[in-house]
Amino acid sequence: MSARAIATKARSSLHAASTAMTSVRGRAATRIGAAVLGLAALALALLPVFQANVLQPGDTYFFTNWDRESQALVLAEIEQQVTGRGTSPWGLQNAVPQVLSPYDTFDALQFGQPPTATGYVPYPSSLGLQGRLFTELFEHGCTTLNCLNTVESGLFSIVFVLFLAALAWVTRRSFALAVLVTSLLSPWVVSAAHNLYWVPWTWLLPALAACLAVGARRRGVRASAFVLVGVGTAVKATTGYEFLTFTTLLAASIPMIAAVLGRPRNWRPVLRDAGVIFGACCAGFVVVLVVHALVAGDGSLPAGLQAILHDALKRTYGSSSLGADAVTVESLKASPLKVLAIYLVDWRSSVLSIGIGGPFTPLALGPGAFWVMVVGAVAVATVDHFRGRPEARRDAVLLLATAAPAVSWFVIGKSHSFTATSVNFVLWYLVFVPAVLWVLVAAVGRARLLSRLGSLLVEFERSVVSSRRRPNRFVRSPPNG
């Protein structure tokens, strides 16, 4: 073969390889583009669910009035900033003499109507990032409560959809689907999604970054994801320290959930990743705590930490003398087991529900369904353990890892959980209720499969026995005599 022919053949090979590479990149870009459009469409579709309660998992009163007192802290901050009635380093305010008074005149602020509040008292329990955020939105044209709630619902929809995609990536699509379904049918999640104080999209930020850390293969990406875990925790902490143990353990549980539902991994790197994620969450919290203490102590770190500790003890295990009212005193005296029992068996709403419109009663799993589901899922894991099935370990790890975030706050934030029963049931959702439902559905599916296999084996055995008994007409009988 001549040199010219060899060169021509080499150029042809290079052209073919380049064409193939371009085709692969084109297909990858198409898939990525389709995935982005799909996620955007899902986020847009979820917006009316969280903003307008179109699926009606909770009635209108529950949806509209879910923790209005806390949301009023944000509205009071906006009122104070817009009307120029004082300045404060804190992003949240209590309106006086009535905490709920901002609701009376808030939408009329844009027309210059003065608020009914006569003054504002700072809320120093957190830096109040959400108050600053929504004040900026108000000053840039989002001047009604409905507009601000819609923005909050949109933020939650976007972060929630990203969390679902990340969860499907590192675990299973079926588990992400369980998270989606249980959240849409939860009166608690749907009612919390548009709340300006709780800003629940911040709860998911550390876990979202943790999914990226678990799923990434490159060291640089993993390192960046671990940093984002800390950043996400810091963002959450600036809006309030409530549920901080929940968001921390939710993020730290991602490697364990991924290990039992996703790509199999050795437990040593799984626990190492969980430890790094936990440490990153703690680092983010400490950064915000130092800043908060400096603000609370007017530049004195010890004085600020003392003030924050005093406030934290009222929500956890402080002396009953810290209670300003009878309910707070009782919450400080309550035992952790009593508080945990409330959230296990004292449900006062449906666990999952969907309204079907008209005069018809909503389809719902009632208040007693929660502990029945939990007992059922634990029973499934226990029976599988004694039968030696490999699913037992998977289900046990899944249930423990997803229960730990909520239980941590019920126990550590004991006093807060005792008094905030109108809010804290929401913690069971996002991962634990989906895990319980997933285990139960998987067990039913497994039972059906085993039943079907058993039926096929019985039919096969009968056919074999029948064929042995049937005489073969092609074999002649031996002659008599």
Q: Is residue 373 domain-resident?
A: yes
Average pLDDT over every residue of 436-464? 72
pLDDT of residue 464: 55
Q: Is residue 379 domain-resident?
A: yes
Average pLDDT over every residue of 232-253? 97
Q: Is residue 111 domain-resident?
A: no
Phi, psi of 241 (to 5 degrees): -90, -5
Q: Is residue 358 domain-resident?
A: yes
User: Which pLDDT tens digit goes with each residue over 339-367?
Assistant: 999 999 999 899 999 987 667 778 999 99
236 and 270 Cβ atoms separated by less than 8 Å: no
Domain that holds residue 341: 335-481
Percent of the chain with pLDDT over 70: 86
User: Which pLDDT tens digit goes with each residue over 64-101?
Assistant: 999 999 999 999 999 999 888 877 889 999 999 999 99
User: Which pLDDT tens digit goes with each residue over 389-429?
Assistant: 989 999 999 999 999 999 999 999 999 999 999 999 999 99
pLDDT of residue 3: 64
Average pLDDT over every residue of 171-190? 96
Q: Is the pTM of this model over 0.85?
A: yes
pLDDT of residue 475: 47
Omega within 30 of 0 (cis) for the link into 97: yes
Residue 454 scores a pLDDT above 70: no
User: Which pLDDT tens digit goes with each residue over 105-142?
Assistant: 899 998 888 898 989 999 999 999 999 999 999 999 99
Q: Residue 43 is encoded by which pair of tokens?
A: 């986020």
Q: Is residue 386 domain-resident?
A: yes
Residue 146 scores a pLDDT above 50: yes
Q: How confident is the model at residue 41 (pLDDT cuts 50, 70, 90)?
A: very high
Q: Is residue 147 domain-resident?
A: no
Residue 17 scores a pLDDT above 80: no
The count of structural domains within the chain is 1
Q: Is residue 50 domain-resident?
A: no
Q: How far apart are CA 214 and CA 458, in angstroms?
A: 45
Residue 326 scores a pLDDT above 90: no
Q: Is residue 385 domain-resident?
A: yes
Average pLDDT over every residue of 292-305? 95
Cα torsion 339, 345, 347, 353: sign: positive
Who has greater pLDDT, 356 or 279? 279
